[in-house]
Structure 1
Amino acid sequence: MRNLFLLGALCLLTTVLHAQTPTRFTLQGRAVDTLNNALPSSTVMLLSPKDSSMVNFGRTDDKGAFTFKNLRAGSYILKVTFVGYIPYNALIKNGDEAVLDLGGLKLKPITRELMEVVVRTAKAPLTIKGDTIEYNAASFKVPPGSTVEDLLRKLPGVQIDQDGNIRAQGQAVNKVTVDGKQFFGSDPKLATKNLQADAITKVQVFNDKTEQAKLTGIDDGKKEKTVNLQLKDEFKKGGFGKLTAGAGPASNNVSTRYDVRGNYNKFDSKRQLSAVLLGNNTNQGGLSWNDYQDFRGSNSFNWNDDADFGFSGSGRYITFGDDNESLSIPISGGDNRGFTRNLAGGVNYNYDTKKTKLSTSYFFNQTIQDLATLRKQDRSLPGATQLITRDSSIQLNRNANHRISLRFEKQLDTMQTLVVISNGRVGIGNTNLASFQRINQSISKSPEQLYSTSNTTNGTQANQFALANTALYRLKFKKKGRSFAASATYQLTNNDADLLLKSRNDFYQATTVNDMFRNLRNLNQDQNTSLLSNQYKANLLYVEPFAKKFYWETFYNFSLRFDEVERGVFNLDDSRRRVDSLSLYYKNNYTYNRLGSSVRYSYKGLNLSAGLAGQSFVLDGKYNRDRSQELIPIRRTYNTLIPNIGLNYDLKNNKYLYGSYTVGVQIPSSRDLQPVRTITNPLYVTTGNPNLLPGLNKEVQVGFSYFNPGSFINFWSNVFTSWNDNQIVYGQSVDTETLITTTSPENISGGRSTGGYLNFGFPLKKTKATLNLNGQFSAGRSFTPIRQTRLVGGVTEVVPGTDILNQTQNQNINGGARLELTPKDWITFYGNANVNITNARYSVNVGQNQTIYTYTYRGDLNLKFPKDIYLNTTFNYRSYINDQLGFRQQVPILNTSLYHIIGKAKRAEVRLSAYDLLNRNVFVSQYNGQNYIQTESIQTLARHFLLSFTYNMRGVTAKMRRQDFY
């Protein structure tokens, strides 16, 4: 059944593509100049005389020759373009010839007198200039109200997956600009999913230099696949926006489904003002992609804002292990888990001149999320022992955040630039959780035996404040390539959280009782935590060219961080008696210094770099159960040498070879260094390890890419291998009578992973059908200390023969195919299939070896009917299989919408949408960890309907001009 939808659509579209025609012929010719000299690599296109849509395209060979085979009999517009020459245009009519040879087609060089002719005739659907491909947006038809993402799907050589990720010429696109500016921030999808397609006049795809190369003037050989969207003149000024309101009948115990959103934007040559507001109960968590519409503007983010200088701007190569919520605006559309109610809104103002750029914004978001979860976990222990945990829970999350941001950039003169960035967040959140856990044990696949249960309710209240300020100064010298940069940063985090924990825990097989077990049987605690963190950073960078092809880069990084944490645990059943064994107070001071240099060789596309950095990390900490007691010192000094090697080689003709050797450092988090037990789930206790060392990850990778702009064949491959020294892993100690698991971080060496990726794409029929194939393989091993403990004479001891190092080997194979069919303006189809197989092998218990299968199939069909009526249907089928756990889950999701564009200006839309018509939606995940396999199912918003009305508040009128081809 799962393939019927795709099969039916494929049959329909194959019929459209390959309908029988009476005759076929071959068209050939040569592009030459006025002296009959060949013009190699000229762009040649065949267009339909009816609407100027592209039928076929290609490039001339070294002799200027081109051939189009198997053409249907009829009339075509032939267009030949070459840089510096007037485009050649001719109407081609075929008679009965099997081969129509046009001979030499002469292109005239551009002169001042002919410039007007060039402007009038240069609007080709597609122009190829070196590695840049420029598309004329008007030549690729999309329905009114479509986004840029819909337009990109129509362009030859560009692919958009179901999540909106972009690939062009076989490579991932990580940067989208609008009129050459970073218009929507760091995520390309912010522009493609929100800008209107009818606002775009041209789409340019090219390999851009990195921001580090632009700053220093030194080509580092790295290329960033970039898409630039050129706006129509009428969209560069005035106001525009959109308002949508939708409602639907009751579903999932909610009386009415609703979705309201709106935005308004007013631009001129210097100023941009944007406002956005949304509210819904349809699982559009936070600010959805479709509502981001121009909100942040052109100055809110620059890729060279990274103030932590390093090897060619590649970052710190160091992570600190502590996680804090991002200060940036949440723009995710949600993960489709549970049931959410959302409210969000904000304003953004930009001021943009040649020397001064200012961006400031305020944003508020609130999310209420209900989760009902079923979870099963199988864990392997020594002696063919298996722990089976079944967990059911109900959870209600409420979160609200206020965010303020500012970015100011001032060009002091032609050589100096100053950038000031400030971001702040105030957040309030609370969570209520009720869960019931059962832990069973099975030895050598014997029947399961119940060991323990836990009935727990948690109530958490949290208040958060965060602030980050950065000043960045850049100086260019007159000598090309010489540059200097300095930065200073201050960050503040203040979090206060209070947890009320009530839990009833029963241990059915326990024959002995100690204080730990007795205290865990009934818990009624108040756990409050206060965190204050201040961090100061300073960075310097200097680049000096020497010799003719060599450059020397030197950088220095400094960071000083102060953490103060107080955690108090009080027993509410005993007059709020403080539980000293679970309480903690600590102060940590972190000092980080790194000094490094690298040498770069750059000549004729070959770019080699080699560098070495020495870094020192000092932890000066103090802790105890209570701040009133004498604090116990923890002092650690970590010194590390960090090498870095890079290779980038432009082999010409759109072939690239690259490689690197890098080392990353993971510093233990302050949480992992504290030797105090933490109990938020009584059956899973955590404790720190003050003797942790930094972890090192070393990686070597090599890649190759190729793109043929004439045939649009693309190929991309990558292989890598990495290995770990002193990797931070979490060892497990399991009590034999209660099955309570205590985890603690430890250092283990020997973990490694190896893998590769391959992508191959080619047109089945140019401008009509494209097929992309991809495959991925990875294999790795990791280690986890596992031991079983028991109580002997009042002392906890390790059971002999059970203190072992479990080795987990994972093999992952992933393969997929994507078919894009755009045969006519009134029909498009996008289909993809993906298979993922994961093999998990455990040394501690081979009987738990497992294979996980995940299959995903998706088809998107779009139809245009007369009178501006459109139909969009999406079918997504997911299958999850794990025979070891007896888990099989199929999730078929069918969505469809019928909409009508109304009004002379086509500014309004009425849409009827049906989501999950089969009423089968559920959130499913399966995961294999260090020594366990886990599956999870969460009740999720299923079948519902919305009737919505949309009005585009266009403040200017778009004008369509007929293109002249003669």
Structure 2
Amino acid sequence: MKKLLLLVAALYMATLTYAQNYSIKGSLIDSEKAPLSFTTVLLLSPLDSSMITFVRADTDGNFLFKNLKKQDYLLKATFVGYVPLQDLIKFDPATLQKDLGQLVLKPIQKELFEVVVRTAKAPMSFKGDTIEYDASKFKVPPGSSVEDLLRKLPGVQIDAEGNIKAQGEEVKRVTVDGKRFFGDDPKLATKNLPAEAINKVQVFNDKSESAKLTGVEDGKREKTVNLELKDEFKKGGFGKATAGAGSDQRVMGKANYNKFDSKNQFAVVGFGNNINQTGLSNNDYQDFKGSQSYNWNDNADFGFSQGGMRFFYFGGDDDNDDNLEIPQTWGPGQGFSKNYAGGLNYNYDTKKTKVSSNYFFNQTDQTLDQLTNSQYFLPTSSYFRADTSFNRNYSQNHRMSLRFEKEIDSLNTFVLNVNGRAGNRTQSSVNGIDFLNTSNERFRNQASSNSYDATSFVLSSSAIYRHKFMKKGRNFAISGTYNKNNSDQNANQTSIFNEYSVVGEKFPLGSNIRNLNQNVLGLSGSDEIKSSLLYMEPLSKKVVLETFYNFSNLSQNVDRDVFNLFADSKPRVDSLSRYFDNNILFNRVGTALRFNAKGLNISGGIAAQKFDIRGKFFNNQGQSEIGNIKNTYRAILPNVSINYDLKNSRYLNFDYNVGLNAPRIRDLQPFIDNSNPMFVRKGNPNLLPTTTYNSNLYYYMFNPVSFINLNAGVSYTRYKNQVILNQQVNSDLSTVYTPENISGGDNFNVYTYFGFPIKKTKVAMALNASTGISKNLMYINNELNENKGENFYLGTRLDLTPIDWFSWFISANAGINNASYSISTNQNQKFFNNSVQSNTVLQLPKLIFFTTDFNYTHFKNNKLGFNQHVPILNLSAYKVVGKNKKSEIRLSLYDAFKRNVRVNQNAFQNVISSSVSQTLSRYFMVTYTYNMKGITARVKKSRWED
């Protein structure tokens, strides 16, 4: 880490040393002597008009270039509606501070359109808060993807996973010619579209769907990137296909094809490999867990945020443990996997009608070996666990979505959304768990074998009708939603225990722990009908009254049958089996007053909500009722939101809301889950809802003149009646978990990001830091355990693109995590996570390219004696060949040091753990790529040509 920081400092000093004291300044006015604010001014090379640097004039039209090399320049100034100004600036050694005085731009007259000569275009232009990049001004190697192009754009960053940040904010949506692409999944667009097809890249803060449809500003923004295609790519098909083979029988293939025009977009993507590339979509992991990742409701729930109100689905992200208690160890980038995926995307877009549809299939077959070391803290002692697991995971999913929007007329709009997913997944695992005392003596072993398979089906559909009245700002909307979620699960669970005699501390096996051999069948289903009403009435030009109503009726049933496989007759175990039928009725009515003027948007509102949970329990379906739940929850919830547009790309946001989360159905069900005999779980039908008090403050600033951007945020959440799992640990270490309510937990987080150019378009740097402090409460054997977590993170990034044929992106991150416990304070922990990432692209003569990717991570925890160094180096060399440079041949070496493993460290409740997963290591691969539309270098005197 020290060497890296010294290298960054040396590069920075070298850049400053390279800079000279020569400067050029001036001011821009029109023919009426009015200043032309924020005009884009470029310095070009007189030899080939290639861009050297640029600035943006200030509000008075003044501009200044500093630290220039002592040479001649071609100065170019452009402003919308004016004839571009271009002038040769001769270097005079006697004048190191050259003042050009006032430069006059003439307005374009109609008769001048025929005689305006097109010259070098500006690399960027600014239209309000939208930054528009001219893709042709940012050179990338032939055959590059949009992801490679975005890395070159000032103010845009791509991390190792392909996530995008623009001006320090995460990009949530990437569109193509303003149209959705595979359900707005940013990575599918950036990884599969060629950079050659892009004419312009536009970065802006998009309005919410509600603000677009109603015309009433709500102050909400979403960072969006729009890719504008070149005209020639709208007239025919284009695409790319790659096939490769390597050592250790590694193979891969992927292809995409696109055909776009002004009204239609059609795209096909697909791949298959055994090199751990688990998907084109960032939803694969969620799909494996049985959840849906998209925001399928498309704002069909009107009114301000529900503050975390939980709607109940089995198998969703938050309720992943509603599945049977089989360890879910699957995760992308781990183990060894075979992966297949493919999808279709079709969009139809006219002024009145918009259709967006896609289908996506993905399949992953993974083997995973994992070692996990954990320490458990008890009120008077502690013990260790060493887990060795061998897992086989398989998932297959079919996803589809359809969005139809029809503008009936200027006052009426109809939107229909239909989304679905059908999938199946299986998992088998063999686990060996050693229990050790503080003297490192093994006193117990648990050998378990589990198999699991499940099928699931999810359907979500919503319809929205919006009506604008003739009076501006008066709106009415109604929505209807139907959701369906079914899951069928089958598991076989076996656990065998062995005891060993030890000299040190003993935890003798008691009657609470028994060997396990059982079959569990789980069938669950849910059907939900929802509706919302919204009415907006302008009280003045600046004030709007918003009134809304939300209704939901959800019916669920769970059929859980447990069979004892120790007996030949395989009897049903009634004490562990249950049939549960329940209904949740939700009603909410609220109102909010919204003020909007001169960029200030203030909303204050209050809502009254009520939901009733009614449930019945049976030993088996059709038998007599053995218990029920009848709970009614009421709350008055305030909501305040302040969004202030300070102009010139500066924003200030503040939000405060109170939310009410109902207990999960799993936690309410009064039956015992003994899937793991060491950790038995009971339900609690007397749980109260959790109240959350959330506040967030966020500031964003981007200076389009200096290209400096700053983001800073602070958030705080406090919990009342938080549902936690209390632990009753027996003398044999078997633990019974029971959900209970507790108050006093909280989370506090601070984040800041600062990015700035050292030399525009050549060298840029970013610094970011964050800290998080959390307090989590739970009881262990009726004794309160307060777990405090303190996380500190510091990161830096340096982007070097000094010349067209070389680029280097390097980042470094350091993290410190402190975990403290009120029980067994001597076991407080501190662990470190440090990393360095580097990516280099170098062009050699004859269109030969060389790339390197280096990732180094260091994990350390002195308490567990854990100290892991993982350096990963990937090397690649390729050459562009063939007629019109349509083909590429690449030789790659992955994990040159043969050190690749997956490492995780965690601290939660009364447990700390570290795990190491084996994964794909060193291999060679040769790939061939063919571009279905020729790529021809068009800029003369460029290193990109022969």
Q: Would you say same fold, with TM above 0.5?
A: yes
Q: In the TM superposition, what are the counterparts of 1:89-238 in structure 2 within 5 Å?
A: 89-96=86-93, 97-116=95-114, 120-121=118-119, 123-238=121-236
Does the alignment pair 1:395 with 2:374?
Answer: no
Q: Which string of whole-angstrom CA distances, capped at 9 and with x for unpartnered residues, describes residues 560-580 of structure 1?
A: 111111111111222111111
Conservation of the 8 A alpha-carbon contact between 1:288 and 1:334:
no
AA aligned to 2:585 is T
Q: CA deviation at 1:812?
A: 0.9
Q: CA deviation at 1:547?
A: 2.1
AA aligned to 1:318 is M
Conservation of the 8 A alpha-carbon contact between 2:297 and 2:460:
no
Does the alignment pair 1:910 with 2:889?
Answer: yes
Does the alignment pair 1:728 with 2:723?
Answer: yes
Q: CA deviation at 1:628?
A: 4.1
Distance 1:162 1:578 in 2: 50
AA aligned to 1:928 is A
Provide the residue aligned with 2:659 in structure 1.
Answer: 664
| Of 263-272 and 336-345, the range deviating more from structure 2 | 263-272
Provide the residue aligned with 2:290 in structure 1.
Answer: none
Provide the residue aligned with 1:66 in structure 2.
Answer: 63
Provide the residue aligned with 2:798 in structure 1.
Answer: 819
Distance 1:115 1:359 in 2: 38
Provide the residue aligned with 2:339 in structure 1.
Answer: 342
AA aligned to 2:25 is Q
Q: Which string of whole-angstrom CA distances, capped at 9 and with x for unpartnered residues, describes residues 882-904 of structure 1?
A: 11111111110001111111123
Distance 1:464 1:415 in 2: 40
AA aligned to 1:357 is K
Provide the residue aligned with 2:693 in structure 1.
Answer: 698
Distance 1:326 1:731 in 2: 22
Does the alignment pair 1:600 with 2:594?
Answer: yes
AA aligned to 1:568 is D
**Are residues 205 and 287 of structure 1, via their aligned partners in 2, closer, same or farther at CA, if it must alter by over 3 Å?**
closer
AA aligned to 1:662 is N
Does the alignment pair 1:686 with 2:696?
Answer: no
Conservation of the 8 A alpha-carbon contact between 2:150 and 2:158:
yes
Conservation of the 8 A alpha-carbon contact between 2:389 and 2:430:
yes
Q: Secondary structure at the match of 1:693?
A: coil
Question: Structure 1 residue aligned with 2:923, among 920, 928, 944?
Answer: 944
Conservation of the 8 A alpha-carbon contact between 1:236 and 1:267:
yes
Does the alignment pair 1:747 with 2:704?
Answer: no
Question: Structure 2 residue aligned with 1:378, among 375, 379, 393?
Answer: 375
Provide the residue aligned with 2:324 in structure 1.
Answer: none
Conservation of the 8 A alpha-carbon contact between 1:310 and 1:316:
no
Cα RMSD of the aligned pairs, angstroms, is: 2.7
Conservation of the 8 A alpha-carbon contact between 1:427 and 1:465:
yes
Does the alignment pair 1:280 with 2:273?
Answer: yes
Q: CA deviation at 1:936?
A: 0.8
Identity fraction in percent: 48
Distance 2:41 2:740 in 1: 63
**Are residues 506 and 460 of structure 1, via their aligned partners in 2, closer, same or farther at CA, if it must alter by over 3 Å?**
same
Provide the residue aligned with 1:849 in structure 2.
Answer: 828
Q: Which runs of 5+ in 2 are unaligned?
A: 285-292, 319-329, 501-505, 942-946
Q: Secondary structure at the match of 1:142?
A: coil
Distance 2:561 2:666 in 1: 15
Q: Secondary structure at the match of 1:193?
A: helix
**Are residues 531 and 119 of structure 1, via their aligned partners in 2, closer, same or farther at CA, if it must alter by over 3 Å?**
farther
Question: Structure 2 residue aligned with 1:588, among 553, 577, 582?
Answer: 582
Q: CA deviation at 1:505?
A: 1.7
Q: CA deviation at 1:863?
A: 0.3
Does the alignment pair 1:478 with 2:474?
Answer: no
AA aligned to 2:544 is Y
Question: Structure 2 residue aligned with 1:532, among 525, 531, 538?
Answer: 525
Q: In the TM superposition, what are the counterparts of 1:219-618 in structure 2 within 5 Å?
A: 219-250=217-248, 256-287=249-280, 305-311=298-304, 314=305, 317-320=308-311, 322-324=313-315, 335-383=332-380, 385-442=381-438, 447-506=439-498, 514=511, 516-517=512-513, 520=514, 522-574=515-567, 575-618=569-612
Q: In the TM superposition, what are the counterparts of 1:832-911 in structure 2 within 5 Å?
A: 832-911=811-890
Question: Structure 2 residue aligned with 1:56, among 49, 53, 60?
Answer: 53
**Are residues 617 and 957 of structure 1, via their aligned partners in 2, closer, same or farther at CA, if it must alter by over 3 Å?**
same
**Are residues 206 and 397 of structure 1, via their aligned partners in 2, closer, same or farther at CA, if it must alter by over 3 Å?**
closer
Distance 1:290 1:872 in 2: 28
TM-score of the aligned structures, taking structure 2 as reference length? 0.92
Distance 2:780 2:312 in 1: 23
| Of 433-442 and 385-394, the range deviating more from structure 2 | 433-442
Q: Which string of whole-angstrom CA distances, capped at 9 and with x for unpartnered residues, describes residues 530-558 of structure 1?
A: 11211111111221111221001111111
TM-score of the aligned structures, taking structure 1 as reference length? 0.90
Conservation of the 8 A alpha-carbon contact between 1:667 and 1:693:
yes
**Are residues 276 and 355 of structure 1, via their aligned partners in 2, closer, same or farther at CA, if it must alter by over 3 Å?**
same
Distance 1:51 1:111 in 2: 29
Provide the residue aligned with 2:39 in structure 1.
Answer: 42
Conservation of the 8 A alpha-carbon contact between 1:860 and 1:872:
yes
Conservation of the 8 A alpha-carbon contact between 1:194 and 1:290:
no
Provide the residue aligned with 1:764 in structure 2.
Answer: 758
Conservation of the 8 A alpha-carbon contact between 2:152 and 2:801:
yes
Provide the residue aligned with 1:797 in structure 2.
Answer: none
Conservation of the 8 A alpha-carbon contact between 2:668 and 2:686:
yes
Q: Which string of whole-angstrom CA distances, capped at 9 and with x for unpartnered residues, describes residues 808-865 of structure 1?
A: 1111111111011111111111111111111111001101100111001111111011
**Are residues 938 and 513 of structure 1, via their aligned partners in 2, closer, same or farther at CA, if it must alter by over 3 Å?**
closer
| Of 201-210 and 538-547, the range deviating more from structure 2 | 201-210
Distance 2:484 2:7 in 1: 58
| Of 431-440 and 83-92, the range deviating more from structure 2 | 83-92
Conservation of the 8 A alpha-carbon contact between 2:187 and 2:280:
no
Q: CA deviation at 1:122?
A: 7.7
Distance 1:708 1:269 in 2: 34
Question: Structure 1 residue aligned with 2:26, among 26, 29, 50?
Answer: 29
Does the alignment pair 1:78 with 2:75?
Answer: yes
Distance 1:511 1:146 in 2: 63
**Are residues 321 and 49 of structure 1, via their aligned partners in 2, closer, same or farther at CA, if it must alter by over 3 Å?**
farther
Distance 1:95 1:441 in 2: 80
Q: CA deviation at 1:408?
A: 2.7
Q: Which string of whole-angstrom CA distances, capped at 9 and with x for unpartnered residues, describes residues 586-634 of structure 1?
A: 1011111111110001111111110111111111100132234321221
AA aligned to 2:264 is R
Q: CA deviation at 1:403?
A: 2.9
Conservation of the 8 A alpha-carbon contact between 1:285 and 1:334:
no
Q: CA deviation at 1:637?
A: 0.5
Q: Secondary structure at the match of 2:371?
A: strand
Q: Which string of whole-angstrom CA distances, capped at 9 and with x for unpartnered residues, describes residues 258-317 of structure 1?
A: 0011222233343333333321100111335799xxxxxxxx999982212221xx4674
Conservation of the 8 A alpha-carbon contact between 1:814 and 1:835:
yes
Distance 1:372 1:952 in 2: 39
Distance 1:527 1:701 in 2: 44
Distance 2:758 2:12 in 1: 13
Distance 1:933 1:353 in 2: 56
**Are residues 326 and 715 of structure 1, via their aligned partners in 2, closer, same or farther at CA, if it must alter by over 3 Å?**
closer
**Are residues 136 and 892 of structure 1, via their aligned partners in 2, closer, same or farther at CA, if it must alter by over 3 Å?**
same
Q: In the TM superposition, what are the counterparts of 1:647-658 in structure 2 within 5 Å?
A: 647-658=642-653
Q: Which string of whole-angstrom CA distances, capped at 9 and with x for unpartnered residues, describes residues 710-746 of structure 1?
A: 111111111122100111111111111x211111211
